[in-house]
Amino acid sequence: MSAPTHIRPHPATRAGAAGRLPWWALALPVLAFAALLTLILNPSDAHAATGEPVISHLFERIQQLTAR
């Protein structure tokens, strides 16, 4: 009896942890889509740009949150 000359490789399986996405790979795009959708659906919250820079508003908000 002779040994087989052609060895068939096993097909790759996608089962297991390597084939699954992490939870945040789906959650982050869903959150981004929801945020953009709320901006589109409620344009009354959109304000025109003022002369004050946005960074000053950010620092004021950070001070308010850390003062509590």
Q: pTM of the predicted model, to two decimals? A: 0.37
Contacts of 45 (CB under 8 A, 6+ apart): 39
Q: Give dist(CA 26, CA 17) in Å, integer.
A: 16
pLDDT at 48: 62
13-36: per-residue pLDDT in tens? 555 556 788 988 999 999 999 988
Distance set, CA 53 to CA 16, 43, 49, 57, 64 (Å): 50, 21, 9, 7, 18
Rounded to an integer, the average pLDDT of 42-67 is 75
- Across the chain, how many H-helices and E-strands are there? 2, 0
Tokens standing for 33?
A: 């889509």
pLDDT category at 46 given cuts 50, 70, 90 is low
Eight-state DSSP code of residue 21: P
